[in-house]
Every structure is written in C-alpha cells, then in structure tokens.
Amino acid sequence: MREILLSPDQRFAVVQSEPWMAQALEAIQQASFPSLSRDELITAEHYQAHTQVFPEGQHAVVERETGQVVACSTDFRTRLDLKHYQHRYMEAVANNWLSNHDPQGDWLYGADIGVHPAFRGFGLSTLLYTARQNLVQRLGLKGHVAGAMPKGFAPYQRDLFIEQYVARVVRGEMFDPVLSIQLKRGYCVWGIIPDYLDDPSCGNYGVFIIWRNPDLKGNP
C-alpha cells in the first residue's frame, strides 16, 4: 500500500483502496448512512468494482499501527454542464457501479465519503478532501463536485425552506454536520437538487457543491 498522505500526528494514512478492503468499506458505508435507502447504499461488490474502474479515485484511510480501514471516499471523472446540474444520485453513479466513469472527463465527481463513527473528529474527512483535491490538481481537472447531503435539515423542514436552511448554513448561522464541514474545505454551493436521493435526514435533497482547481487560470 502506497501512502498518499499522512495525518499531522502520523497515526493515519490515506491510501488507494484495494479489493481486499471491500468488506470494511461496506461496513463504513452502512455505519455512515443509516437512513439512506438500502437500494442506494454502496456494497462490497460495488467497492471491488470501483478499484477496477478508476483506481486513483478510490481513497481509504488506514490506521497505520493496526492496519484498520476507518474511512473512505469514492470518486469518478465526468463532464459537466453547470447550467443543467439537476440530476439524481443513482444516475450520476450508474447505480453505484461507476460504469459511466469518463477517463477524459474534466471534473471529479464525489460519490461518497464516510468516516467510521468511532474515528470522527480526528480530521480524517479533511485528509480525504485534501487527497481528492490533490488528485484534481495532479490530473489538471477543472475541479471537484458533489451532491452534499444536508443531514441537519430534517428537524427544520417544517419551519424553513431548504434554500433558507442552506443560506443560513452558508452564512455560518447554523451548523450542518455535512455541509458545514465541506464549506470549511473550500467548497461553494452551486445549487439545490430536490429528490437527489432517498434519505429523510436531508429531506431527500442534495446540495450541489463545487471546489475549483486553483491552478487553472480563469477557471469558470
């Protein structure tokens, strides 16, 4: 396993995911998305396939002393029309198989990030976002996009429209356990996608977020 990035205390390393990790990755997925529809969860078979489709886009975080796989992220390359960004998660990820990965695609699409609950708050998502942004820069892509799940929305949905909730999170007046963390990593909100996926914690919404490659001059 080649270590791509180390945590500041050197306890954890980001590596490229390997087929033998698939069961551990599935366990992280199940622990990370307890209210996501079963049909939309990434399984061990999917994770195994991803390592063939686009190995560089699959990242895992390993605790170096124990070898335990504790976090992961999933990405593929795609072309984008930012004027028409409405879509469903399952269409984007080809039912979680990533078979529409486009080797010439000029954007990296973030399908998934999850940190095992016992390892949250240790900066592991920060490590994974850095690894993904480094990949965008190394491949000379335009940037990184994702459909963020605003998982703090459910308790507010009687009182606030999703647009109001997201605006408050962006202004830092409310904390969302997913979107606030992504904003800290430099992502911007591009738009809101109704019926992005099937998860009551985020009212089925996705928030389309963008991080642009700072190396590309005039990156629109």
Ligand X SMILES: CC(C)(COP(=O)(O)OP(=O)(O)OC[C@H]1O[C@@H](n2cnc3c(N)ncnc32)[C@H](O)[C@@H]1OP(=O)(O)O)[C@@H](O)C(=O)NCCC(=O)NCCS
Which segment (95-103, 117-125, 132-140, 162-170) binds ligand X by CB under 6 A? Answer: 117-125
The residue from 115, 136, 189, 197 that contacts ligand X (CB under 6 A) is 115
Q: Please state, in angstroms and rounded to a whole number, the distance separating the CA atoms of residues 115 and 154.
A: 21
Q: For the chain, state the CA radius of gyration.
A: 16
Binding flag, residue 113, ligand X (CB under 6 A): yes
The residue from 4, 123, 156, 216 that contacts ligand X (CB under 6 A) is 123
Binding flag, residue 121, ligand X (CB under 6 A): yes
The residue from 22, 72, 124, 193 that contacts ligand X (CB under 6 A) is 124
Shortest Å distance, C-beta 147 to ligand X: 7
Which segment (19-27, 92-100, 170-178, 188-196) binds ligand X by CB under 6 A? Answer: 170-178
Q: List 77's β-bridge partners, or say none.
A: 108
Q: Please state, in angstroms and rounded to a whole number, the distance separating the CA atoms of residues 24 and 214.
A: 34
Binding flag, residue 210, ligand X (CB under 6 A): no
Q: How many CB atoms lie within 10 A of CB 212?
A: 18
The long-range contacts involving 138-141, CB below 8 angstroms and separated by at least 24 positions, are 139/56, 139/77, 139/108, 140/213, 140/215, 140/216, 141/77, 141/105, 141/106, 141/107, 141/108, 141/213
Binding flag, residue 186, ligand X (CB under 6 A): no
Binding flag, residue 88, ligand X (CB under 6 A): no
Binding flag, residue 6, ligand X (CB under 6 A): no
Shortest Å distance, C-beta 217 to ligand X: 28
Binding flag, residue 151, ligand X (CB under 6 A): yes
Q: Please state, in angstroms and rounded to a whole number, the distance separating the CA atoms of residues 39 and 19.
A: 22
The residue from 12, 21, 32, 135 that contacts ligand X (CB under 6 A) is 32
Judged by beta carbon, residue 117 or residue 140, the one nearer ligand X is 117
Q: Please state, in angstroms and rounded to a whole number, the distance separating the CA atoms of residues 150 and 166.
A: 8
- Asked whether the beta carbons of 34 and 202 are under 8 A apart, the reply is no
Which residues of the chain form contacts with ligand X (CB under 6 A)? 32, 113-115, 120-126, 148-149, 151, 175, 177-178, 181, 184
